[in-house]
Amino acid sequence: MQPGKTGRRRFLKESAALAGLTVGTIGSASGQAPQKAESDGEDFRAYGSHSRFENPRRKPSGMDPEHPGGGTGSGASLTPLQDSIGIITPSSLHFVVSRFRNAPPDLDPQEHRLLIHGLVDRPLIFTLAELKRLPSVSRIHFLECAGNGSPVERRNAKTVQETHGWTSCSEWTGVPLSVLLTEAGLQKAASWIVAESADAGKHAKSIPLEKAMDDVLVAYAQNGEAVRPEQGYPLRLVVPGWEGVNNVKWLRRIKLVDQPYMTHSETTQYPSIRPILEGKALWFNFEMEPKSVITFPSGGHRLPGRGFYEITGLAWSGRSAIRSVEVSVDGGKTWKHAELQAPVLRMAHTRFRFAWNWDGEEAVLQSRCTDEKGVQPTLTALAKIWGVNPDYFNTTLNRINHFNPIQPWNVTRDGSVLNGLF
């Protein structure tokens, strides 16, 4: 099917409708056969697509240093932050960290159910239609994988997609989990929930009840349409500000329990082994700390010549709203405040902008953000928190979760932009 032809037919049909003609007459009037129904899927106006001159792409990713693109069963991919604009990530570019071979679970919304049981007075099972009748809210939140930027896998990263692409930001719509839990009637002994996915591996995660009752959403929509299959269609948890692993996709069950259930992810993958703890690991490190990164210019971009550039990037924190972002263009000698795009939302990506005149000399561009509790660390400051020399991050095979140091981009005289972290 030629897009131009389809578009013209569609235009004729719509013009006819506007003019009060019936669609049936237009086929004979234009001398063309009526359009086949199946071609609607290819009609760029039936479900719009970007211009053919634009080509934004997620990039496959994994957690194996030797196979950074992911293995044969990896459903993981990184958001192209170098192309990001504003604060909303297009749903089709939202990062994915999941294990599915070629496609996410294909769940029929008519058949899908959400079970709430355990330490409740009234176990309940909901259809999607019933959930959509309940009071809903829409909120803008980022999601970020705890391992976003973990140097073990990203040491050779060149672009901001590779260094920071396991975060995205969407408007999520759904039922506050507190509404569902209240409807089921919490028993006094309930102190945690276990949320379970309907994916093949039945991913499950324990979350403290206090958080569950505070701001967690059972979301069925993302950016004005149904949640995408890779993002958990037809139903997922959104756990604002917390490690991505808590945001259980393809949600099918919530059990109220009196202790965390010590599932695979919370006992084996996500505890953080820290040298300062002498080989012990930090347990249940939920909140993502403040992080920012310049997305333009960033690794892989090439500045055509000296002159004016607007430096722009993203800042976010799982603990609060971003209070300020500072930018340095001289390797950290001086810092100046960047302009924040309003409104600045709690636990959402915050866009910052900074005017810059490049003099054509070598430059190091960095951003650092401050939330309500503190400032984003330098690599050296982060090393101190971990009880290591900064070299540690460049040599260890330990997975570094919550890796949030200031990211330098080196601009060379020919305008190339290179990762300056390692």
Bond into 234 cis (ω within 30)? yes
Sort strands 251-257 and 113-118 into parallel, antiparallel or unpaired: parallel
Q: Select the residue interacting with another protein from 8, 284, 332, 336 (CB under 8 A).
A: 284
The smaller minimum CB distance to another protein, of residues 131 and 411, is found at 131
Q: Are 183 and 148 in contact (CB under 8 A)?
A: no
Q: Are 287 and 318 in contact (CB under 8 A)?
A: yes
Q: Select the residue interacting with another protein from 21, 226, 257, 364 (CB under 8 A).
A: 257
Shortest Å distance, C-beta 137 to another protein = 8
Q: Select the residue interacting with another protein from 281, 355, 381, 385 (CB under 8 A).
A: 281
The smaller minimum CB distance to another protein, of residues 147 and 297, is found at 147
Tokens for 143? 């999601």
Which residues are bridge partners to 205 per DSSP?
195
Closest by Cα among 325, 333, 335, 422 to 383: 422
Write out the binding residues for another protein, residues 89-108 only, by CB under 8 A. 97-99, 101
385 binds another protein (CB under 8 A): no
422 binds another protein (CB under 8 A): no
Q: Select the residue interacting with another protein from 126, 233, 358, 403 (CB under 8 A).
A: 126
Q: Select the residue interacting with another protein from 144, 196, 289, 326 (CB under 8 A).
A: 196
Q: Select the residue interacting with another protein from 24, 56, 86, 201 (CB under 8 A).
A: 201
Cβ-based neighbour number of residue 318 at 10 Å:
23
Region of 5-13, 117-125, 294-302, 350-358 interacting with another protein (CB under 8 A)? 117-125
Shortest Å distance, C-beta 82 to another protein = 23
Closest by Cα among 191, 195, 215 to 205: 195
Shortest Å distance, C-beta 57 to another protein = 19
Q: Select the residue interacting with another protein from 10, 44, 59, 287 (CB under 8 A).
A: 287
Q: Select the residue interacting with another protein from 165, 241, 297, 405 (CB under 8 A).
A: 241
Cβ-based neighbour number of residue 80 at 10 Å:
21
Q: Select the residue interacting with another protein from 27, 90, 229, 275 (CB under 8 A).
A: 275
**Binding pattern to another protein, positions 342-361, x when CB under 8 A?**
-x-xxxx-------------
150 binds another protein (CB under 8 A): no
Q: Is 332 left (phi over 0), alpha (psi -120 to 50) or beta?
A: left
Which residues are bridge partners to 217 per DSSP?
176, 238
375 binds another protein (CB under 8 A): no
Shortest Å distance, C-beta 377 to another protein = 18
Write out the binding residues for another protein, residues 153-192 only, by CB under 8 A. 176, 178-179, 182-183, 185-188
Residues 391, 147: Cα–Cα separation, whole Å: 19
**Binding pattern to another protein, positions 57-96, x when CB under 8 A?**
-----xxx-xx--xxxxxxx--------------------
202 binds another protein (CB under 8 A): yes
Q: Select the residue interacting with another protein from 282, 364, 375, 418 (CB under 8 A).
A: 282
Q: Which residue has the tokens 């976003």?
A: 148
370 binds another protein (CB under 8 A): no
The smaller minimum CB distance to another protein, of residues 22 and 72, is found at 72
278 binds another protein (CB under 8 A): yes
Q: Select the residue interacting with another protein from 21, 204, 303, 418 (CB under 8 A).
A: 204
Residues 303, 293: Cα–Cα separation, whole Å: 18
Region of 31-39, 219-227, 300-308, 391-399 interacting with another protein (CB under 8 A)? 391-399
CA distances from 234 to 83, 133, 419 (A): 28, 15, 38
Give the type of residue at 136: S
Q: Which residue has the tokens 């693109």?
A: 69
Strands (E) in 29-155, as ranges, are: 59-60, 77-78, 113-118, 124-127, 137-144
Tokens for 89? 């990530």
* Cα atoms in the 13 Å half-sphere on the side-chain side of 382: 23
Give the type of residue at 85: I
Closest by Cα among 306, 191, 200, 205 to 264: 205
403 binds another protein (CB under 8 A): no
The smaller minimum CB distance to another protein, of residues 164 and 301, is found at 164
Q: Are 285 and 401 in contact (CB under 8 A)?
A: yes
Handedness of CA 117, 122, 127, 129 (dihedral sign): negative
115 binds another protein (CB under 8 A): yes
264 binds another protein (CB under 8 A): yes
Write out the binding residues for another protein, residues 292-351 only, by CB under 8 A. 319-320, 343, 345-348
